Amino acid sequence: MPEAPRGYRERASRVAGAVLWTNTTGPSPRPVLPDGCTDLIWSEGRLLVAGPDTGPYHPGGVPPGTGYTGLRFAPGRGPAVFGVPAHELRDRRVPLADLWPAAQVRELTERAAEQAAARVATGVATGVATGVGRVLEEAAGGRLRQAAAAPGGDARTAAVAAALARGRPVAEVARAVALGERQLHRLSLDAFGYGPKTLARVLRFVRALDLARTGMPYAQVAVRAGYADQAHLAREVKSLAGAPMGVLLGSG
């Protein structure tokens, strides 16, 4: 997920549990921070998949002004769209053609390119995202409908993510979803890309960053987000983001 740069915009998607976003890179592309999500991304005529990150991702060789349109899926939703366990995408950016049938990706690429070209031709800049975003939503929605044949899977995955986001201990979460801790670990790797303890760290970091962006003092952020103290918050932010909280907020 892009870390709220100036060229970044987002809105709720028509696909449940997803956010549609656009971004235009500046002179120095900012790192993408861990959030537990996976993304389907259109950029410069290509369709890419961004997996769940365990640390900051630094885009390299991206010229200023490069445009992106992406569909970001909440933790646990990506595997149903992309058809592979989330841990296979962890810390990776891969062509969609590596995951979906070539003919399907070719048809989707052509449709997205037509939408982008049509909107650029009319000079409606925001329409590029609207047209391409609609294509991405239709493709993802179709995949999710096909995956709906596994009853209960989505509910259990969502329950795990919600409980870990609230700071519940792993053993308690396992009991709540009627799994052993090893079973929960396997489920978490497949659904989220990392084990439950790492997912909990990432979700806590996301909450802390959201709170800090409101102007809340760091000591209060630490308490509200579930850290032992402000020093614990500082260590975790540096570990997951590669920079102190003040640098992250200053770059927004």
Please tell me the predicted confidence (pLDDT) of residue 193: 98
Task: Give the model's pLDDT for residue 3.
Answer: 41
Segments of the chain with pLDDT less than 50: 1-5, 124, 127-128, 252
Spatial distance between the Cα atoms of 140 and 138, rounded to a whole number of angstroms? 6
pLDDT value at residue 173: 97
Residue 215 phi/psi, 5-degree rounding, is 95, 5
| Cα→Cα distances 9→6, 61, 69, 249, Å | 8, 22, 10, 17
Prediction pTM value: 0.89
